[in-house]
Each structure stands twice: as C-alpha cells, then as structure tokens.
Amino acid sequence: MEIVAALTVGALVAIGIWLLLDRNLVRVVLGVVVIGNAINLGVLTAGRFGSRAAAFVAQGEVPLQAANPLPQALVLTAIVIGFALFVFALAVLKRTWETHGTTETDRVTALAEEPAPDLPETPLRPGGPA
Amino acid sequence: MSGLLVAPVLVPLATLILCMLLRRNPGVVAALSVAGAALLTLVGLRLVGLAGEGVILAGQMGGWQAPYGISLVIDRLSAAMVAITGVIGLATVVYGLVREGDPAGGRDFHLFVQGLLTGVCGTFITGDVFNLYVWFEVLLIASFALIVLGDGARRLSGTVVYLFLNLLATLLFLLSAGLLYGATGTLNMAELAQLSAAGEIPAGGTVAVVLMLLAFSIKAALFPVFGWLPASYHVAWSPVSALFAGLLTKVGVYALIRIVTLVWPQAGVVHEVLLWVACLTMLVGVLGAAAQTEVRRILSFHIVSQVGYMVLGLALATPLALAGAVFYLIHHIVVKANLFFIGGLAARMAGSERLAAMGGLYARAPWLAILFAIPALSLAGIPPLSGFWAKFVLVKASLDIGAWVAAAVALVTGVFTLLSMSKIWNEAFLKAHPGGAAALREPAGLRPAFAVVAALAAITVLIGLGAGPVMDYANAAAAQLADPSGYIGAVRGAGGQ
C-alpha cells in the first residue's frame, strides 16, 4: 500500500514540476497545487497506513490497532492552508491577466526588473485612487 | 508566567482582530496598531529581562505533555528575537502613519502588518516542527498581501516571483516535516535533540532534516537559492519592504540556527557545507549589489550578503561564533530596516529611487544624510557602530579555528559593502540633482517617519557604544544554543498549560 502511494506521490510531483516549468502562469499555479497535494499525500504516507480502525479512545481502553491520527491531523491543517494559498494565487493570476493582458511568465517577471518609476509630485491621498 | 509565554503571539493577534472589527475607522485602526506593536515591544523586553537571568520559559499547549502537546519555548535567542520584532513592528506601523503614498489609503496595511508580526513571533517561540510550518504559513500569507498592497503592474510582477518561490519553499518544508515524523516518530524539537544526542536518528530522519535546512535556506536567501529576494523586495511600498528586509529572511536564519544547534550541536559535515554556502552568499550578494543602480535593489542584494555573515557564525559552531551570529542578527535587523526606511524617505524627497535621477539631498537635508550615514557605516562595519563589533567577533571566531578563507571573505565583503554605501552616498546625497535644486521636494507630514529613522539610528549607535552588555547577552544565548540540555530539560519538565 505504501509503495503505491509513494509512486503516486512521485508521479504527481513529476507532473507538478513539468507544469511549473511552463511559460504560462496558469499552468504554474496548477503545478503548485499538484505538488502541494502530492506532498500532502507524502506526509500521510510517511506516517504509515497500518490500520483502518479509527483512533477513538474509549474509557480505560487503548486501541492497539488504530490508524495513526497525527499525520491525518497534519495533512488536514496543510490542506486548509494550501487551499487559502491557492485562492490567493488565483487572485494574483486574475489580476495579472487584467493588468498585463498576458500570463506569460517571462513577460510578467521582466516587468519587475524595469527601472523604478518616478514618484508623483503630489503623493496619493488616503482613500484616493490607487 | 504562562501568560507571558503566549503573549508574543496573542498581542499581535488580538490587535489584528480588534483592527479588523474597527476597520471602518482608519484613525482608530492606526492607533490600535501602534499601541499593539508598542505592547509587543514591552513584552519582548520583559522576556529579554527574564531570559537574561537564565530562565527558559516553556509550556505545553492544550494540556498535553511533551512530546504530544505543542511546546512553546522562550530562551535567550527567542526572547531577543521577539523584542527586536516588536521594535521593527513598531517602527513600521509608525512609519505607516505617513499615509501619503499609502497605496491602500490606510485601510489594510495595519491588519496585515499585525498578521505578519503574529506569524514571525510564532516562529520564534515554537518548539515544534509542524507548528513552525504553520507559523511560516501565517507570516507568508500576510507577507503576500503586504507585498501586493496597492496594485500596480510592477508590484504585481514582483509579487508573482515572490509568491511562487516562497510557496515552493514552504511545500518543501511541509514535506520534510512529514518525512521527519515518519522516520523519527516525533516533531518536538526537544525530543529530536534528545534522539540526536543518543544517536538514534535514522538515515531517513537525517535526510528529512537536510531537506528542511534547504527549505530554510530558501527563506533565508542563501546562495544559490536567493534569487527570489532581489527580484521582489524592491517593488513593495517602502515601509513594507523595510519590514520584510528587517524580519523575513531572519526568520529563515533563526530556523536554521535553531534546528542545526539542536540536531547537530557539534561541528560536522553540515557545518562544513554551511561554511562554503555562507562564504559564497556573502560574496555573491555584495557583488550583485555592485551592479545595481537603484537604492532598494542595492540594499536587497546586501540583505543576501549580510545573511551570509550570520550563517558563517552558525557554520563555525564555536560558542564565540554563535554569539557573533546572535549579535549580528540583532544588529542587522535594526540597521537593514532603517536603511530601507531612509531609502523610502530619500526617494520621496528626490522623486525617484533610481540613483541617476537622485541627488542634492546632502545640501537640502543634511540631517537625512547623517541619518543615512549611521546605518550605512554600521552595515559596512566601521567602528564604533554596531556592525563593527558584529563583524569583529565573527572574523575573530574564524581566525580562532583557522578558517582563513572565511575571515578573508568576511573582510572583503565589508570593503565592498562600504563601496556600495558610498555609491548611494555619492549619487543620492552628494551630487547635484539632475533636475536642479528646485526638483527636490520636502513633502509635509513626514515627521513620524523621521522620528522612526532617528530612533533606529540611535539604537544602532547605542548597540555600538554599549556593545559590552549586548555581547554578554549574545554570549549567554550562544551558550544556551551550544548546549541543548537546558532547552530539552525545560521542555520535558514543563507542565501542561
């Protein structure tokens, strides 16, 4: 069971890296998501799939055959965080498309290397146009 | 006592929640934010006082005993980092009171700064690897929002670079935390140190820790994985980039110091690798800066080279070198943030941050020039400012164990740093403004910003003149780092909270 999961993680990471290397920002975002999920699966696998019994502890009884609950808790946390970051990345992606009219990574990153713009004579007023 | 343990996280978090509830009134939000940051500074100073007496505060959250509960630990290094975070947080929110030029009109800046402070303080006080990951994510999401604040094509592009490379680093960290748990069965740093001391970390666990160090190296912007930093820090609003310059890479350095000293207290292969990485980081950073022609881009490359010094202290692994690294952290955070603040002010007065389009600031505003000279000379390591002592200790520690190459690289880097700083001095301050003296402007309402810059410069001078007590503290912190038994004892002996 672990070996199947491990191979799946490997395949997913490979797909994710292939997507990350793409020139299109949309695919880069998807690549990060695929890698994120692969790593979640990896964390779960690293904690071993010993048993399917739920890890509920009854009064005065230790469940010897219970599945390891800790990796599950870790992955749940990581999924929630990953989801928030994914949403933010999508928002940045949408704004990039609106602002630059392109999602080509080379052109987007080249813009950050342009010389700094001159600051306006009258600075923006609070609440004014951004 | 237990309240003080969680205060570094609770204070900014409570401020954030209050700010969110009252966000309709920007004046109230700004006042709350300043008060919260001031309170955080006080908490930090109180912690430094406690830690200075040799107390290691520790506690388990949720009432579970270590290693099952999440441990929070505050030793000398953590306490100093929390205090300095409070100072930089306070400086940033006060500078942010100059709302002219605030791209979001004062609406969201304070919320995200408090969120960032929560995450940063969390990383400094946690004693659990997975919890460290969670705090990293907290500070990361706040930093994403801060760097893109105010939109604009150039800023958005810088955000894209910053976003994806930092996301990858945290994913790497998550993977290594999972693998570490799989290999060793624990995520508690103190228990990890115990296992390591007993030689019970399996090969898989070592691989996981090394992977974790790689993730921290990306965060700390070490050679060769520093590319994201100079590609993104210069696009943000100036108080935001000052906050990042002061705190964010140093979170990575702190995590490196914490994990390496706990898992490998004795010098070994990892230290050998870190030594070369540190030397290359110093050199590449400072040479990269030489090619830049904008104030903040020069300063960004210098962050990289300065991080090299701190890692050099970690890599040498003698008590003196570790003390040097701690001293360097404290000195560097203040100086670097201050240089970014001054860069922002100079740009606002000169109308640009391109060196070619700046000038005449010395004639027009000599006090700003002096305020720039103090952190700039300190960064280069000119006595009697704080940077001199930081570099002196590290060079001495290198020579003590015969690491001639490292000492030479540290000195050469200092010379090139001075060169970069004099470039900014000549271009922005000394030469005449290309548009004539009339092109210089003196915007009204910059008083809080000048107060911040002057206060941070005063701290730099104070650390330089009063280097003795600070160095004593750094020495004591290094002693705690070099011998993890105190840390382990505090965590294992602490009761549930």
What is the model's pLDDT at position B358?
Answer: 87
Average pLDDT value over all residues in chain B: 89
The span from the CA of B220 to the CA of B310, in Å, is 10
Q: Do residue B134 and residue A77 have CB atoms under 8 angstroms apart?
A: yes
Categorize the per-residue pLDDT at B68 as very low, low, confident or very high, splitting at 50, 70 and 90. confident
Categorize the per-residue pLDDT at B311 as very low, low, confident or very high, splitting at 50, 70 and 90. very high
ipTM of the complex: 0.89
What is the model's pLDDT at position B55?
Answer: 86
What is the model's pLDDT at position A31?
Answer: 93
Chain A CB contacts of B151 under 8 Å are 95, 99, 130
Give the gap in angstroms from C-alpha B201 to the nearest C-alpha of chain A: 15
Beta bridge partners of B58: B73
Amino acid present at A92: V
Give the gap in angstroms from C-alpha A81 to the nearest C-alpha of chain B: 7
Q: Do residue A112 and residue B150 have CB atoms under 8 angstroms apart?
A: no
Q: What's the average model confidence in pLDDT over A100-112?
A: 81
Query: Which pair of structure tokens corresponds to residue A83?
Result: 């989801």
Query: Which pair of structure tokens corresponds to residue B23?
Result: 């966000």
Task: Read off the pLDDT of residues A47-104 as tens digits, 9 standing for 90 and up.
Answer: 877 777 777 777 777 677 777 788 888 999 999 999 999 999 999 999 888 888 888 8
The span from the CA of B48 to the CA of B57, in Å, is 11
- Of chain B, the percentage scoring pLDDT greater than 90 comes to 58
Q: Which of A35, A89, A118 sits opposite B163 (nearest CB)?
A: A89
The span from the CA of B36 to the CA of B23, in Å, is 15
Task: Kindly tell me if the per-residue pLDDT of A114 is higher than 60.
Answer: yes
The span from the CA of B345 to the CA of B447, in Å, is 11
Domain boundaries, chain B: 266-465
Query: What structural domains does chain A harbor?
Result: 2-51+67-105 (1.10.287.3510)
Task: Read off the pLDDT of residues B290-304 as tens digits, 9 standing for 90 and up.
Answer: 888 899 999 999 999
CA dihedral B124, B128, B134, B139 (to 10 degrees): 10
What is the model's pLDDT at position A126?
Answer: 44
Task: Kindly tell me if the per-residue pLDDT of B227 is higher than 70.
Answer: yes
Categorize the per-residue pLDDT at B406 as very low, low, confident or very high, splitting at 50, 70 and 90. very high
3-state secondary structure of B138: helix
Q: Calculate ∠ Cα B57-B129-B178, nearest 5°.
A: 160
The span from the CA of B141 to the CA of B166, in Å, is 10
3-state secondary structure of A86: helix
Beta bridge partners of B61: B70
B104 touches chain A (CB under 8 A): yes
Handedness of CA B136, B269, B301, B443 (dihedral sign): positive
What is the model's pLDDT at position B99?
Answer: 64
3-state secondary structure of B55: coil
Chain A CB contacts of B164 under 8 Å are 20, 28, 32, 89
Handedness of CA B58, B60, B63, B66 (dihedral sign): negative
Residues 6+ apart with CB under 8 A from A35: A12, A13, A16, A17, A20, B168, B171
What is the C-alpha R_g of chain A? Answer: 22
Query: Among A107-111, B172-176, B198-202, whose mean pLDDT is lowest?
Result: A107-111
What is the C-alpha R_g of chain B? Answer: 21
Amino acid present at B482: A
Task: Kindly tell me if the per-residue pLDDT of B66 is higher than 70.
Answer: no
Categorize the per-residue pLDDT at B141 as very low, low, confident or very high, splitting at 50, 70 and 90. very high
Q: Do residue A112 and residue B235 have CB atoms under 8 angstroms apart?
A: yes
Query: Which pair of structure tokens corresponds to residue B149?
Result: 């604040």
A125 touches chain B (CB under 8 A): yes
Q: Do residue B232 and residue A84 have CB atoms under 8 angstroms apart?
A: no
Q: Do residue A124 and residue B105 have CB atoms under 8 angstroms apart?
A: yes
Q: Do residue A84 and residue B351 have CB atoms under 8 angstroms apart?
A: no
DSSP string, B56-93: -EEEEETTPPTTTSEEEEE-HHHHHHHHHHHHHHHHHH
The span from the CA of B273 to the CA of B292, in Å, is 29
Task: Kindly tell me if the per-residue pLDDT of A124 is higher than 50.
Answer: no
The span from the CA of B302 to the CA of B283, in Å, is 10
A128 touches chain B (CB under 8 A): yes
Amino acid present at B449: A
Number of alpha helices (DSSP H) and beta strands (DSSP E) in chain A? 4, 0
Return the residue of A nearest to B228 by Cα. Answer: A109
The span from the CA of B471 to the CA of B269, in Å, is 28
Dihedral-angle region of residue B351 (phi above 0 means left; psi in -120 to 50 means alpha; beta otherwise): left
Task: Read off the pLDDT of residues B99-128 as tens digits, 9 standing for 90 and up.
Answer: 665 555 566 889 999 999 999 999 999 999
Q: Do residue B175 and residue A39 have CB atoms under 8 angstroms apart?
A: yes
Q: Note the maximum CA span of chain B.
A: 70
- Of chain B, the percentage scoring pLDDT greater than 70 comes to 97
Categorize the per-residue pLDDT at B219 as very low, low, confident or very high, splitting at 50, 70 and 90. very high
Task: Kindly tell me if the per-residue pLDDT of A128 is higher than 50.
Answer: no
3-state secondary structure of B187: coil
B215 touches chain A (CB under 8 A): no
* Best residue of A32, A88, A102 to probe chain B, by most B CBs closer than 10 Å: A88
Q: Do residue A119 and residue B351 have CB atoms under 8 angstroms apart?
A: yes
Query: Which pair of structure tokens corresponds to residue B329?
Result: 């952290």
Beta carbons of B237 and B150 less than 8 angstroms apart: yes
Chain B CB contacts of A113 under 8 Å are 231
Task: Kindly tell me if the per-residue pLDDT of A25 is higher than 70.
Answer: yes
Chain B CB contacts of A127 under 8 Å are 105-107
What is the model's pLDDT at position B361?
Answer: 86
Per-residue 3-state assignment (H helix, E strand, C coil) for B168-182: HHHHHHHHHHHHHHH
Q: What is the DSSP letter of A64?
A: T
Dihedral-angle region of residue B185 (phi above 0 means left; psi in -120 to 50 means alpha; beta otherwise): left
Q: What is the DSSP letter of B357?
A: G
DSSP string, B27-47: HHHHHHHHHHHHHHHHHHHHH
Q: What's the average model confidence in pLDDT over B283-287?
A: 93
Give the gap in angstroms from C-alpha A58 to the nearest C-alpha of chain B: 18
Q: Which of A25, A39, A99 sits opposite B174 (nearest CB)?
A: A39
Q: What's the average model confidence in pLDDT over B143-147?
A: 91
B100 touches chain A (CB under 8 A): yes
A24 touches chain B (CB under 8 A): no
A28 touches chain B (CB under 8 A): yes
Q: Which of A39, A84, A125 sits opposite B171 (nearest CB)?
A: A39
What is the model's pLDDT at position A129?
Answer: 38
Chain B CB contacts of A117 under 8 Å are 154, 352
Closest by Cα among A126, A121, A129 to B101: A126
Q: Do residue B105 and residue A117 have CB atoms under 8 angstroms apart?
A: no
The span from the CA of B257 to the CA of B312, in Å, is 11
A48 touches chain B (CB under 8 A): yes
Task: Read off the pLDDT of residues B455-494 as tens digits, 9 standing for 90 and up.
Answer: 999 999 999 998 889 999 999 999 999 888 888 888 887 6
